[in-house]
Structure 1
Amino acid sequence: MLAALMTGALTAAGCGTSAPADVTGLRRVVGTDLVGARGATAGDQRKIDRTVVALCAAGVWSRPDCEQHGGAGG
């Protein structure tokens, strides 16, 4: 019984979350347009659209996902 509990505890301890070591590539794809955008203005919508286009072009989102956003990159 103790061995089973210890195995479970050790397994759970190894399954934590931590920040990625480097997000430079993701930042290049996503950009920083969304920072501060609230969707309240035409300018905000352009920022959202630019981000969606980048995610679609990089293949992060599927074609159907991109098509739901007005065909951006699809």
Structure 2
Amino acid sequence: MTGASMLAGCGISGPADVTGQRRVVGTDLVGARGATAADQRKIDRTVVGLCAGGVWTKDECQRHGERQ
């Protein structure tokens, strides 16, 4: 019975608050399609937040800045 009651408390739930994540990622990307220079600026601002927040590695951040 003890084992079953311990397992009952285990589970996966969503974060209680995403304020910190929202500050890192921002909302610039919402609605951006990459079709215009303004869209690209929105994408770039989002990447800056991801890089500054340590979500992406330094190499990943540098790759974003490379011209294809």
TM-score, length basis structure 2: 0.76
**Highest CA radius of gyration, 1 or 2?**
1
TM-score, length basis structure 1: 0.70
Shift >6 Å, 4+ stretches: none
Q: CA RMSD in A?
A: 2.1
Q: For residues 14 and 31 of structure 2, what CA distance do their matches in structure 1 show?
A: 22
Greater RCO, CA 8 A, separation 6+: 2
Q: Structure 2: state its 5+ residue gaps.
A: none
- Give the length in aligned residue pairs: 62
Q: Structure 1: state its 5+ residue gaps.
A: 1-6
Q: In structure 1, the residue corresponding to 2:65 is in which secondary structure?
A: coil
Identity %: 72
